[in-house]
Structure 1
Amino acid sequence: MIFYDCSTAPNPRRARMVIVEKGLTVETHDISIAEGQQLSPEFLKINPRATVPVLITDDGTTLTENIAIATYLEAVHPEPPLMGRTPDEKGLVAMWNAIVEFEGGVAVAEAFRNSHPAMKGRALPGPMDLPQIPELAERGLARVSAFFELLNDRLSETPWLAGDAFSLADISAFVFTDFARVIKMRPPEDHAATHDWLERMRARPSAAA
């Protein structure tokens, strides 16, 4: 396998954490988004959509989405399971991962890409140059605040997002919550369930990935 990473971006970090949780060592190439390497002719041959992460499987298949990479790694390295053991668990992991991506990941990206000077003209990932929209940044900040409420409510009911077991959904939520620092947002101090969960997440070796 060959993994195309970016050490500063949240989405590749999600895939890195899955790789670490699976106990795998994978050939890795770092693609600097800050330097625009994802737009280079060499990388566009690998992924014309100009996004990371990318995983080239042992059979040469190119996977360019986190859910695809996690699904592949779960299939070829099922232990430890990150996408549920029973049908119900699998459904809950898929559900909460999707919720986290839309309510958390998209919200943070909306605020960051539409406000940060480094993202000027790059309001969306991919090959197109698109202008920032300040109103979307404001909406993103409001959505992140709502996401933190959603996260704490769920974690007040169950130790991990999808139930009793750590899963891909926790990885996604942790990465997006951590990356919210770039828009100067953090879970409120009185969100005790979230902070307990964050402590347990940070104690995992994959958190340093």
Structure 2
Amino acid sequence: MKFYMTPGSCSTGIHILLEELDKAFEAYIVNLPAGDHFKPDYVAINPKSTIPTLVRDDGSSLTEVQAIAYWLGRAHPRARLLPEDVEGETRVIETLAFVVGTVHGQGFARIFATPTFTRNEADHEAVRAFGRELVEKCFGVLNDQLGVKDYVAGAFSIADPILFYVEFWADKTKIPLPANLQAHYKRMLARPAVQRVLREEGYNLASLGASA
């Protein structure tokens, strides 16, 4: 398989899943500031010009974090990355949708990609502030849902690396994590697969999780 990713982005969650599965794949860095995602070679495999993209063994491209994570879980049942019961699987998908669509798409996007929400520079600080407020509110919801469980579904699942990438962003942007999410983030940082991925993506593990 071929995995198109940007270090430190939402693709980190998928990178962790691939590492947890011990899957062989070729990694390709997509430089977003350089506009790599708009170049013809990339558009040919992902017309959406988004990351990540997973080109599977049959040559087909799969996009969207939720879809890639779900496919990895379903395609590798022995790894038990999805709950076996319908309720458990549904709750995992619910978490994926909330993290990617709201925490990332509405919250952190306002912080990281402020001009996409308003062209008026005078409004940028207000947009970023609202993004931070929304992220903190969402973290409160996720914190209550996680409770004292070690992982989102009780056992490690496809939802945990996806939750991790926004916890990681919170760490990098100094947004405080509620207690249960702090514990989850620290637990994820201790996983060998997560450590390998972060090193491969160029991060110093000693600088992460200081507040967790």
| TM-score, normalization by structure 1 | 0.82
1:179 offset after TM fit, Å?
A: 1.3
Identity %: 28
- Distance in 2 (CA, whole Å) between partners of 1:98 and 1:73 is 16
| Matched residue type, 1:153 | D
1:197 offset after TM fit, Å?
A: 1.6
Q: Secondary structure at the match of 1:55?
A: strand
- Distance in 2 (CA, whole Å) between partners of 1:79 and 1:34 is 38
Higher mean alpha-carbon deviation, 152-161 vs 54-63, is at 152-161
Structure 1 counterpart of 2:191:
204
1:203 offset after TM fit, Å?
A: 0.8
Query: 1:7 aligned to 2:12?
Result: no
1:182 offset after TM fit, Å?
A: 4.9
1:53 offset after TM fit, Å?
A: 0.7
Query: 1:148 aligned to 2:139?
Result: yes
Matches within 5 A, 1:15-164: 15-106=14-105, 107-114=107-114, 123=116, 131=119, 134=124, 135-162=126-153, 164=154
| Matched residue type, 1:179 | W
Per-residue Cα deviation, 1:180-209 (whole angstroms, up to 9, x for no partner) = 34543231xxx3322222221111123231
| Matched residue type, 1:192 | A
Q: Structure 1: any 5+ residue segments left out of the alignment?
A: 115-119, 125-129
Q: Structure 2: any 5+ residue segments left out of the alignment?
A: 198-212
- Distance in 2 (CA, whole Å) between partners of 1:203 and 1:173 is 15
Structure 2 counterpart of 1:194:
181
Match of 1:172 among 154, 162, 181: 162
Q: Secondary structure at the match of 1:18?
A: helix
| Matched residue type, 1:102 | G
- Distance in 1 (CA, whole Å) between partners of 2:101 and 2:46 is 23
Structure 1 counterpart of 2:201:
none
Structure 1 counterpart of 2:205:
none
| TM-score, normalization by structure 2 | 0.81
| Matched residue type, 2:141 | L
- Distance in 2 (CA, whole Å) between partners of 1:103 and 1:67 is 13
**1:68–1:148: structure 2 CA closer, same or farther, 3 Å change rule?**
closer
After superposing on structure 2, the runs of 4+ consecutive aligned residues of structure 1 that deviate more than 4 Å are none
- Distance in 2 (CA, whole Å) between partners of 1:22 and 1:77 is 8
Q: Secondary structure at the match of 1:79?
A: helix
- The 8 Å contact of residues 70 and 158 in structure 2, kept in 1 or not, is answered as no
The alignment covers a number of residue pairs equal to 192
User: Which structure shows the bigger proportion of residues in helix conformation?
Assistant: 2
- Distance in 2 (CA, whole Å) between partners of 1:38 and 1:26 is 20
Per-residue Cα deviation, 1:5-61 (whole angstroms, up to 9, x for no partner) = 11232x211110110111112112111113221121221122121111111111121
**1:183–1:202: structure 2 CA closer, same or farther, 3 Å change rule?**
closer
- The 8 Å contact of residues 37 and 50 in structure 2, kept in 1 or not, is answered as yes
- Distance in 2 (CA, whole Å) between partners of 1:73 and 1:194 is 24
* Coordinate RMSD, CA, aligned: 2.1
1:157 offset after TM fit, Å?
A: 4.4
- The 8 Å contact of residues 66 and 100 in structure 2, kept in 1 or not, is answered as no
Q: Secondary structure at the match of 2:54?
A: strand
- Distance in 1 (CA, whole Å) between partners of 2:40 and 2:11 is 20
- The 8 Å contact of residues 22 and 79 in structure 1, kept in 2 or not, is answered as no
Q: Secondary structure at the match of 1:159?
A: coil
- Distance in 1 (CA, whole Å) between partners of 2:62 and 2:84 is 23
